Amino acid sequence: MAIDLTRMRGGEKGKVIDIQGGWGLLRKLEALGIMQGTEIVKVSSQLMRGPITIRVGNTQVAIGFGMARRIIVEHKK
């Protein structure tokens, strides 16, 4: 099932299948190793549309809510 990052729950795994944004966003995410095909694990989300934290490889990355909404993930239960 394809959903955006904000709608995953903590601890769930997924694979990035689409990033809905311009070149700037793609480049920014790519710098931290997030692009189509990247496997991620959601760690947490903050209250009231705060940032989302995910695990990519061996690092964690915190992503603002608006940006996280544009990252579409194929979600594995």
Partner 1 sequence: MRKVLLMGNPNVGKSVVFSRLTGVNVISSNYPGTTVEFSKGYMRIGKEKVEVVDVPGTYTLEPTSKAEQIAVKILQDSIASQNGIVINIVDGTNLERNLNLTLQLLKKNIPVIVDLNFWDETRHLGISIDVEELEKILNVPVVPTCAVTGEGIKELVDRLPEAKAMTYDYPDEEKWHEIGKIIDRVQKVTHRHHTFLEKLADASIKPLTGIPIALGAVYIAFKLIRFIGEGLIGYVFDPIFGKIWAPLMMRLSFILGSGGFIHDILIGKLFVGKIDFGQSFGILTTGLFVPFAAVLPYVFAFYLVLSFFEDSGYLPRLGVLADKMMHQVGLHGLGIISMLLGLGCNVPGALATRVMETERERFISATLMAIAVPCMAQIAMIVGLVGKYGAKALMLVFGTLFLVWIMIGILMNRLLKGESPEIFVEIPPYRIPYFGALTKKLWMRVKGFLKEAIPFVLLGVFIVNILYSLRIIHFLSKLTGPVIKNLLGLPSGAVAALVVGFLRKDVAVGMLVPLGLTLKQLVIASVVLAMYFPCAATFAVLVKELGVKDMIRSALIMIFSAVLVGGLLNLVL
Nearest CA to 71 out of 48, 47, 54 is that of 54
CA distances from 22 to 14, 65, 71 (A): 22, 17, 12
Q: 1 or 22, CB closer to partner 1?
A: 22
- Give the one residue of 17, 21, 26, 28 binding partner 1; rule: CB under 8 A: 28
1 touches partner 1 (CB under 8 A): no
- Chain residues 46-75 in contact with partner 1, contact rule CB under 8 A: 46-51, 53, 56-67
Enumerate binding residues for partner 1 (CB under 8 A).
10, 27-28, 30-33, 35, 43-51, 53, 56-67
